[in-house]
Structure 1
Amino acid sequence: MARDFIFVFILLVTFTIINAIPFHKRTAFFGPCPNVEDTFSVKMDPDPLISPHLTTITITGKEVSGLIIGPLASLVVTIGATGPVQTPSAFPVCNATDCPIFSGTEYTTSGTFILNATLPKSYQVVLTIGNLNSSSPQMTFLHDQILACALATIET
């Protein structure tokens, strides 16, 4: 009888300890950017970001503002706090077979880059789509026009 009580006691203590351990994974929640009508859903791997690590970002969206995403459109990934922590990465949104993307059309694109910067305690991941100004080394968009955007603030 005493062995049964000891077994039950150990079992209850084990369940209590297991329930006390936080198993929630901190993931980035991407929302819309201020002053930009279109946004998209984002899948980031790894989530949260790890440095140095190979990072893949996949976006899926639907053009709704009536703007056309053309063959020159790029997805620009910027990671930073008060300024960028590493050079922004740019990836084409579409290829020649599925461009242009008209209003109401769904699209998916992804890009992989090496995150090799030291991440601060709090930082933002900003994903923007626009037509890059080829004469600007700062990755600015033509006419400062952002076609779609998603933003996440991450605190570690």
Structure 2
Amino acid sequence: VFGPQENHKDRMASLIFQKYHELQKTGKITLFEGTAGYGNGEQIRDFIYVNDVVNVIFYFWEHPDLSGIYNCGTGIGHTFNEFVQGIIDYCGKGHIEYVPFPEILKGKYQSYTQADTTKLMQAGYDRGFTLLPEAVKEYCSILEKSDGYYE
């Protein structure tokens, strides 16, 4: 989950928050080299914008008859390369640099995550999800204007 109001999370803030600031400070974005069969920066995540999470929550609030455990994700995986390229495109500067994959994470790192949204869709959720490039652009704009806080 990424989006405004996460400044307090420090090292646990989203990848976009961290990498946006890294780009501003160093002129580049670092990503892990490939591991476990994935190329450099080709690890995949189901990145979801916080506004979309709020929409899912409101959907269930408006439908109190629904209960259960539902995956909250877009159902679409994107590579880290795609994700951070959106930051570079927004800022109009920078490049990706790959750093060695940490030994401590080998065998423990999830290189692929993508939500199965079948149950969510079967529950009637129909509000969609913000396309990744649009969400990255919107959040970068908020980071640029107010360092990540809604004004």
Q: TM-score, normalised by structure 1?
A: 0.26
- With normalisation by structure 2, the TM-score equals 0.26
More helix by proportion, 1 or 2? 2
RCO higher in 1 or 2 (8 Å CA, sep ≥ 6)? 2
Larger radius of gyration: 1
